[in-house]
């Protein structure tokens, strides 16, 4: 879990780890309250290389608190079904079923439900049963050839399942495919700035009508303790850290709560000679939210087009550097563009003052 930037094990990082357990407990309590028949866990329940037995014991004890709910677990890329895996070796509570290895189907009575762990069901569908498919994989993405278990909506639609529970992606998506039966709740608690928004679980009711037709009612329940926000702060015209802090604080308050985590990018043209001290700003804003990280993308307030017209070395330097900036933009090289811009403004500062302030 990416909590290393939050501080020591005794500080905020430890608090975030405890909150993961709290959210897991919340899922168990929600299962009790809703009297759910099945709790579906679609992989990545834990990290195979690092999980402690005490953590698995805690998870299993929680499962034992919902004996009337059948817990179905499939492995993911972080908790693979390998020799030595706790999915194989641990003595799980009697209501826990591991759908992996040679076992590709679980069948239950009252209600009649069949749960598959493979795109190729070992038996034909049974109209009198609710058919559920659980998968852990990469959906509808043209990415690297080594993508974990690549899947398409067309494949899901052709499966004939009444409901498809998906795992792998940490951000939720719902009603995938033309049949609109595939759902992925994502991680129940966000773990990084690439996992913004509300996080939680799906609660699904599946009905078989008298004529044999089936339909589902799916609702999302948010249970996350905190949210992550990536925001911009416009520091146009700022000449000191205090003003930049004031602007950033206002943006933080507008974007989320004091319990949230923020990645703030400072933007805009600031007065020449001023460069925001991000460490100082983070310290000043520490009490305004649970965590804040600031990145400085401001630029000095020079009129570059006017400088280009100047005779002499400053005009020539700015002209050449702007050409590099535009070349990087045309190539789609954001890192190169950022580097060229930094070099441009540091160069102007050095020409004017004989030194640069980093």
pLDDT digits (tens, 9 = 90+) for 118-130: 887 767 778 889 9
Tokens 């959210």 — which residue?
23
Residues 181, 161: contact at Cβ < 8 Å? Answer: yes
Examine the pLDDT at 4 and tell me if it is beyond 50. Answer: no
pLDDT of residue 317: 93
Q: Per-residue confidence at 271, pLDDT binned at 50, 70, 90? A: confident
Average pLDDT over residues 102-124: 87
Max CA pair span of the chain: 87
Q: Which CATH superfamily is domain 4-222 in?
A: Metallo-dependent phosphatases (3.60.21.10)
Nearest Cα to Cα of residue 161 among 135, 131, 137, 116: 131
Examine the pLDDT at 145 and tell me if it is beyond 90. Answer: no
pLDDT of residue 353: 74
Say which residue, 299 or 266, is predicted with more confidence.
Answer: 266
- Cα 300 from Cα 313, distance rounded (Å): 19
Terminal CA-CA length for the chain: 32
Examine the pLDDT at 134 and tell me if it is beyond 60. Answer: yes
Q: Per-residue confidence at 151, pLDDT binned at 50, 70, 90? A: confident
pLDDT of residue 143: 57
pLDDT of residue 177: 65
pLDDT of residue 357: 56
Average pLDDT over residues 8-23: 82
pLDDT of residue 59: 95
Average pLDDT over residues 104-128: 86
What is the pLDDT of the chain when averaged over all its residues? 88
Say which residue, 338 or 69, is predicted with more confidence.
Answer: 69
pLDDT digits (tens, 9 = 90+) for 204-216: 999 998 888 898 9
- Cα 132 from Cα 78, distance rounded (Å): 23
Residue 271 has what DSSP assignment? P
In the chain, domain spans: 4-222, 228-353
Examine the pLDDT at 351 and tell me if it is beyond 80. Answer: yes
Tokens 């579906």 — which residue?
40
- Cα 174 from Cα 221, distance rounded (Å): 13
Question: What whole-number percentage of the chain has pLDDT above 70?
Answer: 92
Average pLDDT over residues 281-296: 95
Examine the pLDDT at 48 and tell me if it is beyond 90. Answer: no
Average pLDDT over residues 39-46: 94
* 3 state SS of 67: coil
What is the H or E stretch that residue 228 is in?
Answer: strand 228-234
pLDDT of residue 1: 35
Average pLDDT over residues 219-224: 95
Examine the pLDDT at 17 and tell me if it is beyond 50. Answer: yes
Ordered alpha helix ranges (H), the chain: 12-34, 53-64, 86-89, 153-157, 241-255, 278-284, 304-308, 313-330, 334-353
């Amino acid at each position: 879990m990416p909590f290393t930037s939050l501080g020591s094990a005794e500080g905020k990082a430890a608090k975030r780890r405890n909150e993961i357990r709290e959210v897991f407990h919340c899922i168990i309590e929600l299962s009790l309250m809703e009297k759910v028949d099945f709790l579906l866990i679609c992989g990545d329940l834990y990290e195979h290389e690092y999980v402690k037995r005490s953590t698995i014991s805690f998870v299993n004890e929680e499962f034992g608190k919902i004996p009337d709910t059948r817990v179905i677990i499939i492995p993911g890329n972080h908790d693979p079904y390998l020799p030595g895996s706790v999915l194989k070796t641990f003595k799980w509570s009697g209501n826990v079923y591991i759908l992996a290895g040679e076992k590709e189907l679980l069948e239950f009575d009252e209600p009649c439900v069949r749960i598959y762990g493979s795109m190729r069901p070992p038996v034909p569908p049974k109209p009198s049963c609710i058919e559920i498919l659980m998968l852990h994989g990469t959906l509808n993405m043209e990415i690297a050839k080594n993508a974990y278990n690549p899947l398409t909506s067309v494949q899901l639609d052709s499966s004939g399942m009444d409901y498809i529970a998906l795992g792998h992606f940490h951000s939720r998506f719902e009603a995938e495919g033309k049949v609109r039966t595939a759902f992925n709740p994502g991680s129940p608690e966000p773990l990084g700035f690439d996992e913004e928004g509300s996080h939680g679980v799906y609660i699904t009711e599946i009905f078989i009508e008298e004529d044999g037709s089936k339909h589902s009612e799916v609702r999302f329940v948010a249970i996350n303790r905190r949210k992550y926000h990536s925001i911009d702060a416009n520091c146009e015209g700022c000449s000191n850290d205090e003003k930049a802090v004031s602007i950033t604080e206002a943006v933080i308050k507008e974007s989320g709560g004091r319990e949230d985590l923020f990645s703030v990018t400072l933007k805009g043209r600031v007065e020449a000679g001023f460069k925001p001290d991000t460490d100082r700003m983070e310290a000043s804003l520490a009490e305004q939210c649970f965590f804040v990280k600031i990145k400085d993308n401001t630029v000095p307030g020079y009129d570059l087009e006017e400088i280009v017209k100047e005779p002499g070395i400053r005009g020539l330097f700015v002209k050449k550097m702007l050409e590099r900036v535009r070349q990087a933009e045309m190539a789609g090289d954001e890192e190169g563009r950022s580097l060229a811009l930094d070099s441009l403004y540091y160069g102007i500062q050095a020409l004017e003052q004989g030194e640069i302030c980093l």
